[in-house]
Structure 1
């Protein structure tokens, strides 16, 4: 099926650092594995994307995943016409970026893995983890074999050696202990959906290997807490060099996380 949207550019989404299982396959074509499913997408033009799924599957799974109902047009317009010169450029460059609504456990584990790793290295590690501990499936529409993201049960049963062989390094115990915490009910991921942003971050930081940056990433990409504003080395550089540590996050309340994504995507292009 084809969807039309003013702010849906696959290249920008795939390279935005929020999702590690969305990859370019050729030219303007991409694949994504999420929610236990496989999807191919092709950018036909700036406002049109061709998807390999049916309209029914799109409405049931992918519409929410790609957050198609959210008004990104209004945010891009307000930033491009605003007084902040850096955000004018960032929003203009990054338009088409969307905050994906990803599965919470997957986001939690992948961002624990992401610490002190480049995006290509994270992708390799996540794919290795899926091939070792996920479920192998075949997509009916494209006849493509793929692996689902491992369940808490599978990762909780994995030994440290097997996790380390997947490229986790020192993060192996963090991943195993967090998976165990989810499996045993020490943390109820579903209940996090009912919490406010600050409460959710506080709960997430009780987990091994989850500091303030990872907790904010999980809040933004897994809980869709749009006020979350993760600060990594790139954002920290912007806050210091561009804003002299005077950037007012509160001025963008209700969509600060989207602003952060435009900042991140733009600074990495320079």
Structure 2
């Protein structure tokens, strides 16, 4: 497929927004909507195939948000020296458009966990509660099915090494099983209402709600805050992070989260979510 605007597949899949992609022999492999996708970029050509059934170009364009006017988005969010450096280094990174169920479960698992741990939890959940898909003799597993997760006991879910999150996953799955339209019914809500509605779900705090709003509901103004983004926002504001008497960073409070997220949305505008992803990848790359 010929790319009509700038896009960097490696940055997009390496930046920490998705957890079920891996690269081998120059190809990226991912499990999306029950299909195994195999994708590689060569300049302005994007090569892809899917199993067990092919997918159309439009599916790929939608998933990687190739319809976004990235040039204009980056121009709008380029408000300070830090984001400018991030844009220069990672130009072509795009937000991935994820399915609501997959994104919600992924980010509930992502609370208080490293990317490696998140990937492990989702792999375990998929192997236990997803469907097996064999491609060229290799077994892949689709994302956990709502029905299987809803019927499972909390103790069985805990076998996937998800810890305290098992109860939240069970309760969410049961709610969605009882009302299959529960999540899609939220799609017409504006960002602030959606965020509050998502927070009514078990295990969903401010950050998870913002991540799901951004990655699954097209709310590009959403600006999730974690420990990395908190530090960079204080730096941009020219302010000091709240610390204890011994100099350690104080835990992020809900009120502080709300204030920082509101500042970022005012500062970066309607595409603040893109700024967040560029800043997150940039600050993490500096720490490596």
Residue 248 (structure 1) shift: 4.5
* 81, 102, 105: which one aligns with 1:106: 102
Q: In 1, are the aligned partners of 2:223 and 2:264 still within 8 Å (CA)?
A: no
Q: Secondary structure at the match of 1:76?
A: helix
Residue in 1 that maps onto 2:183: 189
Q: In 1, are the aligned partners of 2:11 and 2:92 still within 8 Å (CA)?
A: yes
Question: What TM-score, normalized to structure 1?
Answer: 0.90
Residue 121 (structure 1) shift: 1.1
Q: Hey, what's the Cα distance between the residues in 2 that align with 1:23 and 1:133?
A: 20
Q: In 2, are the aligned partners of 1:5 and 1:48 still within 8 Å (CA)?
A: no
Matches within 5 A, 1:127-166: 127-139=123-135, 144-166=138-160
In the alignment, does 2:91 pair up with 1:95? yes
Residue 83 (structure 1) shift: 5.3
Judge which range, 159-168 or 220-229, deviates more. 159-168
Deviations 1:135-162 (A, max 9, x none): 11235xx665321111221111111222
Q: In 1, are the aligned partners of 2:214 and 2:273 still within 8 Å (CA)?
A: yes
| Runs of at least 5 residues in structure 2 that lack an aligned partner in the other structure | 240-259
Residue in 2 that maps onto 1:237: 231
Q: Hey, what's the Cα distance between the residues in 1 that align with 2:184 and 2:117?
A: 29
Deviations 1:23-56 (A, max 9, x none): 1123x321111111111111223x33221259x7
Q: Secondary structure at the match of 1:150?
A: coil
| Runs of at least 5 residues in structure 1 that lack an aligned partner in the other structure | none
Q: In 2, are the aligned partners of 1:130 and 1:147 still within 8 Å (CA)?
A: yes
Q: In 2, are the aligned partners of 1:217 and 1:228 still within 8 Å (CA)?
A: yes
- CA root-mean-square deviation: 2.1
Question: What TM-score, normalized to structure 2?
Answer: 0.84
Q: Hey, what's the Cα distance between the residues in 1 that align with 2:201 and 2:113?
A: 20
Q: In 1, are the aligned partners of 2:233 and 2:264 still within 8 Å (CA)?
A: no
Q: Secondary structure at the match of 1:31?
A: strand
